[in-house]
Amino acid sequence: MVPSFQRSEEELARADDLLRGTLGDPRRRVLLRGGTVLTMDTAIGDLARGDVLIEGATIAAVEPDLSQVATDGGAVVVPAEGMVVMPGMHDVHRHCWQTQFRRLMTGCELSTYQDVLLRKLGPLYRPDDMYTGTLAAGLGALDSGITTLQDFSHNARSQEHSDRAIDALRDAGIRTVHASGPPLSGKWDEQWPEDLRRLRQRIGSHEPLLSLRSALLGSDEVGGSFYTLRPESIAYARSLGLGMTVDAAFGPAAAANIELLGRAGLLGPDVTLLHCNAFTDEAWRVIADSGAQVGLCPTSDTQLGIFDATPPADKAKQFGVRPGLCVDVECALGTDMFAQMQAIYTTQRMLTYRRRYYNEADAGVPIDLRTVLEMATVNGSQANGLSAEVGTLASGMQADVVLIDVESAETLPLNNALGAAVIGASSKDVDTVFVAGELRKWRGQLIDFDLATLRVAVHESRDDLLARAGFVLDVSSGNLTRSEEI
């Protein structure tokens, strides 16, 4: 007899045939049966053993037992024993166009990243390079259980550059918020911000997996005033019905700008601020009062040395702000949300215990697992402007669902579902991914995905960009040298 926490090969084979045979069927019903369900919905709660019914693109029911559905013959039954079933995770910002250079800049500081990626390589990108990097980012996110990705595309050198990035997001099949912004250096067509109007029409309301935002910066220090969150850029985005995502919202200059905008009543829930480290209490106060959203960047702040290098989870908590999480730059950091959850969990607890050891009056309390998983799911959906559609498992929500294997050699036995999802799991434990009810990953493998073709495209794009920039790469160390120096 097969133990209850294992899925039989016969059950999986039957589900495999039915799932593949009904791909693209808008009326398909899928029953995820017998998993441990973390709904992230406060009204429903968690289920030690539960069922999730997907009908078409939406969740129809989440209950402890949907036996009737399992036996009526109208649904594909996917055995979920030994799985944590949870909402797909949300990345609140990632510069997807840079993915050809994954881990090239590991160990560098922010200034080096800006010099190499933004000033030397970014200006050389052709539209097809935008497509290749963005596609690799989208597929990597799906593979790691991220079902919604905010693409902060700040290399829009022409309309075609933007169009090819959007083509890649469509082809990846991931839910995406495309935040369009101009490059920070080099020649470009200067079509932005006017091109936001065209992009809004191109994406349109008929594409449920794609939406558009304006990509801005927190102060004039990084990109110049035309690219900064300011009254004019806010008014323009709102005239188009677009939200705004604000990168480089860190340090004194950005904090002063946020304070000024907050006092003028110009911030709101349609503004998402990224990083927010080294902010004043007054900046946090206007963020909280305005309902503006926040995305924390746990690994980029610490590894790139951004201002005080501390992701401000405690400040967010102090002012009642519920932040999401971001991967930011794969050229320097990891690909998945598990690393972000583990980083914020570890650093916040470390700082709390340090303050407690030194008897500081405001030591606070250590962050808990549920708070961290909320950051990666429901809070992220709010920061991406999609909380009415995704972020929780509840009837009527879009069926963005992830199954994590918690009975592998590395994760068994399941003692704490939150601990397994936040601390114990990694991308390789992501067994199944649905986006709007469509299967994107099954039994540990992305489906309808040509890795060989992508691999060739990524290598060719990377090598061509490096050659045209005059760089020679030593892949054993990641060292870049100028070709004339060899």
CATH number for the domain spanning 320: value is 3.20.20.140
Residues 258, 170 share a domain: yes
Nearest to 257 by CA among 269, 270, 266, 244: 266
Q: What's the token pair of residue 158?
A: 């022409």
Number of independent structural domains in the chain: 2
Distance CA 452, CA 394 (A): 37
Residue 318, in any domain of the structure? yes
Q: Report strand pairing: 146-153 vs 58-63.
A: unpaired
- pLDDT attached to residue 26: 77
pLDDT in tens for each of the 486 residues of the chain? 344 556 677 777 777 767 776 767 778 899 999 999 999 999 999 999 999 999 999 999 999 999 988 777 789 999 999 999 999 999 999 999 999 999 999 989 999 999 999 999 999 999 999 999 999 999 999 999 999 999 999 999 999 999 999 999 999 999 999 999 999 999 999 999 999 999 999 997 678 999 999 999 999 988 777 799 999 999 999 999 999 999 999 999 999 999 999 999 999 999 999 999 999 999 999 999 999 999 999 999 999 999 999 999 999 999 999 999 999 999 999 999 999 999 999 999 999 999 999 999 888 899 999 999 999 999 999 999 999 999 999 999 999 999 999 999 999 999 999 999 999 999 999 999 999 999 999 999 999 889 999 999 999 999 999 999 999 999 998 888 886 654
Distance CA 383, CA 266 (A): 17
Specify whether 32 is located in the same domain as 137. Answer: no
Residues 263 and 182 in one domain: yes
Contact 329, 105 (CB under 8 A): yes
User: Which residue, of 334, 365, 383, is where some domain finishes?
Assistant: 383
Q: Which residue has the tokens 């997001």?
A: 169
* Any domain includes 313: yes
User: Is residue 266 helix, strand or coil?
Assistant: coil
Do 38 and 122 reside in the same domain of the chain?
no
Residues 365 and 396 in one domain: no
The pLDDT of residue 455 is 96
Here the tokens at position 445 are 């493998």
**349 and 404: one domain?**
no
Cα dihedral 196, 200, 203, 207 sign = positive
Distance of alpha carbon 167 from alpha carbon 97, whole angstroms:
12
pLDDT attached to residue 222: 81
DSSP structure string for 282-304? HHHHHHHHHT-EEEE-HHHHHHH
Closest CA to 233 of 221, 219, 222: 219
Last residue of a domain, one of 355, 383, 411: 383
Whether residues 83 and 96 share a domain: the answer is: no
β-strand partners of 213: 179, 243
171, 450 Cβ separation under 8 angstroms: no
Contact residues for 28 (Cβ-Cβ < 8 A; gap 6+) = 22, 54, 55, 56, 76, 437
Residue with tokens 């730059």: 329
Q: Are residues 62 and 114 in the same domain?
A: no
Closest CA to 228 of 281, 263, 271, 285: 271
Q: What pLDDT, on a 0 to 100 scale, did the predictor assign at position 16? A: 75
Q: Which residues contact 408 (CB under 8 A, 6 or more apart)?
A: 429
Which amino acid is it at 160? E
Nearest to 343 by CA among 328, 322, 359: 328
d(CA 404, CA 421): 7
Please check whether residue 142 lies inside any domain of the structure.
yes
Q: From 339, 366, 383, give the residue that closes a domain.
A: 383
Q: What is the pLDDT of residue 2?
A: 40
Q: Are residues 147 and 211 in the same domain?
A: yes
Same structural domain, 268 and 311: yes
In a domain, 401, yes or no: yes
> Based on the domain organization, do 335 and 225 belong to the same domain?
yes
* Range(s) of the domain holding residue 438: 9-87+391-446
Q: Is residue 38 part of a domain?
A: yes
Query: How far apart, in Å, are the Cα atoms of 255 and each of 110, 220, 226, 249, 454?
Result: 19, 12, 18, 7, 41
Which residue type, as a one-letter code, is found at position 44?
A: I
